[in-house]
Amino acid sequence: MNTAPDVLAVFCAADGRHGNLLGVVRDGRRHPDEGSRQALAKQFGFGETVFVDDPERGAVDIYTPGTRLPFAGHPLVGAAWLLDLEVLRPAVGEVWARQDGEFTWIAARAEWAPPRTLRQYGSPAEVDALDVPPPGDRLYAWAWEDAAAGRVRARAFPGRGDGVEEDEATGAAALLLSDRLGRALNIIQGRGSQILTAPGPGGVIELGGRVAQRYALSGNSSPS
């Protein structure tokens, strides 16, 4: 069966390059059980794959190659852009979304994000020089590029042991860092992806970035 998901790059740079690849299966009903969804997410090999269960209500289900997630940042930003919805409904609950020019934003809470180690380094060069840590070390490494302007250099190592050694752009980690620092951030992660955060009232943090469509992937092939 050909699932032909949309393949998006989420948190692209201003020139449209980079971004974290995301698979979106628009008709999640064709894969109704958790086992088949998990197998497909593993086959695709993206950091996350989203299954759309109800495109009008925004009901979505998120998987890494090895597990199901109640919340993840870049899948929800990508799905909000693709489906053009004001609210998404992952397992964690309602997530509001909005479009603002070239940026797509979601409103989320730090407690929804999976825990990880946020480790500050002395300079962007130190972050760039890091090797991939061993599995089990869920590290988000960051350093100030310009503290006054809120500009951050970061790299993310999910440490899940599922074949994804480094995430190009990680919305949930950016959410945690923005919550810890209590301020808006402009994060450059990976090879050059850009993630924006903006703390709001009531503990809600907006998470935003650019999204671009990359290609369609057949259900019986894997990404290159």
> What percentage of the chain reaches a pLDDT higher than 70?
95
Do 119 and 91 share a domain, yes or no?
Answer: no
Do 129 and 47 share a domain, yes or no?
Answer: no
Reported pTM? 0.93
| pLDDT score of 217 more than 90 | no
**What Å distances lie between residue 60 and 45, 75, 82, 147, 192, CA to CA?**
19, 10, 12, 36, 28
Do 64 and 152 share a domain, yes or no?
Answer: no
What integer pLDDT is reported at residue 221 of this predicted model?
Answer: 40
Instruction: Compute φ and ψ for 82, nearest 5 degrees.
Output: -70, -45
Do 116 and 74 share a domain, yes or no?
Answer: no
What pLDDT, in 10s, does the model give residues 9-20? 999 999 999 999
Q: Which of 92, 175, 192 is nearest to 140 (CA)?
A: 175
The answer to whether residue 224 sits within a structural domain is no
What integer pLDDT is reported at residue 160 of this predicted model?
Answer: 84
> Which of residues 221 and 196 earns the better pLDDT score?
196
Do 149 and 90 share a domain, yes or no?
Answer: no
Do 20 and 81 share a domain, yes or no?
Answer: yes
**What residues pair up with 188 in beta bridges, in sequence order?**
153, 194
What pLDDT, in 10s, does the model give residues 39-85? 999 999 999 999 999 999 999 999 999 999 999 999 999 999 999 99
Domain span at 120: 112-209
Q: How confident is the model at residue 4 (pLDDT cuts 50, 70, 90)?
A: confident
The answer to whether residue 15 sits within a structural domain is yes
Do 80 and 165 share a domain, yes or no?
Answer: no
| pLDDT score of 8 more than 70 | yes
Please compute the mean of the pLDDT values over residues 216-220 and round it to a whole number.
50
The answer to whether residue 44 sits within a structural domain is yes
Both tokens of 204, joined, read 């809600």
Residues with Cβ within 8 Å of residue 16, at least 6 apart in sequence:
210, 212
Do 138 and 195 share a domain, yes or no?
Answer: yes
What pLDDT, in 10s, does the model give residues 96-137? 999 999 999 999 999 999 999 999 999 999 999 999 998 888
Do 77 and 141 share a domain, yes or no?
Answer: no
Do 46 and 121 share a domain, yes or no?
Answer: no
CA–CA gap between residue 142 and residue 23 (Å, rounded): 27
The answer to whether residue 189 sits within a structural domain is yes
Count of structural domains within the chain: 2
Do 77 and 144 share a domain, yes or no?
Answer: no
Q: How confident is the model at residue 219 (pLDDT cuts 50, 70, 90)?
A: very low
Do 130 and 87 share a domain, yes or no?
Answer: no
